Structure 1
Amino acid sequence: MTELIEQQQRIAPTPEHEGDSVRMNMIQAINSAMDVMMARDPDVIVMGEDVGYFGGVFRATAGLQAKYGKRRVFDTPITECGIIGVAVGMGAYGLRPVPEIQFADYIYPALDQLVSEAARLRYRSAGEFTSPITVRSPFGGGIFGGQTHSQSPEGIFTHVSGLKTVIPSTPYDAKGLLIAAIEDNDPTIFFEPKRIYNGPFDGHWDRPAKNWSGHPGGEVPTGYYRIPLGTAKVVRAGAALTILAYGTMVHVCRGVVEEAGVDAEIIDLRTLVPIDIDAIEVSVKKTGRCMIVHEATRTSGFGAELSALVQERCFYHLEAPIERVTGFDTPYPHSLEWAYFPGPVRIGEALKKIMKDA
């Protein structure tokens, strides 16, 4: 236990953020987060398929092996179960591994290691061992990746006690949340919405951008800062309706709402587990209406849990039934993926329905 306390305290406290701010897209911000943490903590290890010399399929780990060496940034065989199994062992030993699963669709072979080992290690050992691993993985659609490169499986992991689930929507949040996840002593699933890796799609959320290279997403400090897990963010204040979203859907909802002229308050959840229920409750009790938007399939999606939480805590303040706008309950379509996403048409219809008697 003494070693655990020392491990938790070994990183000295720092100011709110360090360094100047520069324009970064989400990939650059994620790379910066790992760079900062590897420089601060020699126990941080990056591992995964093609993360070393090649720098990752999306270039999120570019340059890290050249800077920190092959012992701290290394390629693994194509075995997701092995990647996570090794990471769990490293974490129990005292390291802080950051394994990358190349696409969220490939994470299923590692479920047993995540659910049976990583999520339970603290409890099974009565706190003697922890599993401070941060599993990074691009998720969701938007790049015509088809059924095996486009899934949104966050609902699987939010169901597992002992796992934390994080989904950023901006470069600034991606870096601050990733640093917080790496510092956390519990296992975290860090899903990165690849549809906005390189920036918003030119403001058009019902079709891909002509220029996939995108645009830098925002100002991000070059040094250390962290965003505590479990804190949501109000990205647009409003009084008539609360919209709960995360990842890409935050931007989609904002574009639709502003075009429709609805006085909606949009809350970016940022972390699904732990969930910032206080922020949700305050907003829904103020607006009296709630809409939930996510890209994953509808049945047993995380929106169902959000709907239950809002119903339990805000029932007497609701002035209309809770609306959910989600992906369809079908295998992920390849050629029709832009019809699969919640977009301006479906979100607009839900807005009209929920605001009908306002």
Structure 2
Amino acid sequence: MLITYREAIRQALRELLKDPTVFLMGEDIGAYGGAFAVTKGFLEEYGPERVMDTPISESGLVSAAIGAGMAGAHPVVEVMTINFTLLAFDALVNHAAKIHGMSGGRVNVPLILRTVTGSGNQLGAQHSQNIEGHYAMVPGLKVLAPATPADAKGLLLSALYEPNPVFIAEHFALYNTKGEVDEERAFVPINKASVLREGTDITLIAYSRMAIICMKAAELLAQDGISAEVLDMRTLRPLDLDTIFTSIAKTHYAVMVEETGKGTSIGGSLIAEVQEQIFDELKGPIRWVAGLPVPVPYNKTLEREAIPSPDSIARAAHELLKA
């Protein structure tokens, strides 16, 4: 079935709500239907006890969700954008992520947090960050960044069966993109990367919207006779290193691509793992194509220049292969 990324998430949420312990909570998710219309109509369909509008207090709503999870419920929290998760950083990092370990495994915190990441829509620096990499550095959290409608649905379905917190970053630019999605409960494993395109000459590694941009870069490279394999990481924590290592062992060249700058990303950790564990498979250094290390500009032209593009990715691949 061909549906949008948004509709895929809506389908998954309806599946989750079949579990009586699940409820949704967040800012404007009820009467307004969510900032990106993901929960439009849910309040009328499920009622205010299952779809809860909360005050504009990210720390408060995430803390309440932690308590609800510890008490036996399974809250699904929507934080309007990833920028606002910083206001709940203490609750997420010092409490949600640590309670299971600090209790010797006796207490779980079943909690799904959905939020919106991404730049490219002229929303200004404070609303255009890609800081999911920060959360991917936190033991106790699982961090997902789906790029396709099928993965947006399947990863969210799988998150219900995780006993501890799952952080899902949904790129705003993907909500209207379409893709084939199984009408049934098509689960996607949380710890497995996806090969979007097979190739033999070079591996392009990315997640979220950049995985789609890498597909376009692969098309450009194909015009020059270069066969690029595109890996969608899907899960930032835990990393599926086996799939990444297998691809690099085949192509011997790799480009890591991220929308965010290098200082706030997961790419450096992945590159370090490759260098440490399969260095002998590399025929050249891994290239790292990332956003510029600046607050994302509001100006449309400057913003576009601050974000990796198919051309910049293809250019990096050419430079690596020619080196």
User: Is 1:57 the equivalent of 2:35?
Assistant: yes
What is the aligned partner in structure 1 of residue 259 from structure 2? Answer: 295
Alignment of 1:95-244 (within 5 A): 95-199=73-177, 217-244=178-205
What is the aligned partner in structure 2 of residue 264 from structure 1? Answer: 228
Query: Runs of 4 or more off by more than 6 Å in structure 1?
Result: none
Contact 1:30–1:178 (CA under 8 A) maintained in structure 2: yes
TM-score, normalised to structure 2, is 0.96
User: Is 1:31 the equivalent of 2:13?
Assistant: no
What is the aligned partner in structure 2 of residue 7 from structure 1? Answer: none
User: Is 1:324 the equivalent of 2:288?
Assistant: yes
User: Is 1:246 the equivalent of 2:224?
Assistant: no
Contact 2:284–2:320 (CA under 8 A) maintained in structure 1: yes
- Partner amino acid for 1:287? T
Deviations 1:254-281 (A, max 9, x none): 1112122121111101001111110011
1:350 partner SS: helix
Deviations 1:187-224 (A, max 9, x none): 0110001111111xxxxxxxxxxxxxxxxx11223342
1:299 partner SS: helix
Distance 1:286 1:184 in 2: 33
What is the aligned partner in structure 2 of residue 355 from structure 1? Answer: 321
What is the aligned partner in structure 2 of residue 340 from structure 1? Answer: 306
Distance 2:184 2:61 in 1: 29
User: Is 1:308 the equivalent of 2:272?
Assistant: yes
Distance 1:256 1:323 in 2: 14
Q: What is the aligned length?
A: 318
What is the aligned partner in structure 2 of residue 18 from structure 1? Answer: none
Quickly say closer, same or farther: Cα 1:348–1:221, change in 2 above 3 A: closer
Deviations 1:312-336 (A, max 9, x none): 1210110011100000111111112
User: Is 1:284 the equivalent of 2:248?
Assistant: yes
User: Is 1:91 the equivalent of 2:69?
Assistant: yes
- Partner amino acid for 2:256? I
Deviations 1:290-346 (A, max 9, x none): 110010111252110111011112101100111000001111111122111100332
Distance 1:255 1:317 in 2: 26
1:160 partner SS: coil
- Partner amino acid for 1:134? I
What is the aligned partner in structure 2 of residue 202 from structure 1? Answer: none
The percentage of aligned residue pairs carrying the same residue is 37
Deviations 1:104-128 (A, max 9, x none): 1111010000011100111111222
Distance 1:65 1:221 in 2: 25
Structure 1: runs of 5+ lacking an equivalent: 1-21, 200-216
- Partner amino acid for 1:37? L
Quickly say closer, same or farther: Cα 1:106–1:245, change in 2 above 3 A: same
- Partner amino acid for 1:260? L
Q: CA RMSD in A?
A: 1.1
> Residue 26 of structure 2: which of 48, 63, 85 is its match?
48
Contact 2:221–2:227 (CA under 8 A) maintained in structure 1: no
Distance 2:268 2:187 in 1: 29
Deviation, 1:355, is 0.9
TM-score, normalised to structure 1, is 0.87
- Partner amino acid for 2:182? P
Deviation, 1:183, is 2.1
Structure 2: runs of 5+ lacking an equivalent: none
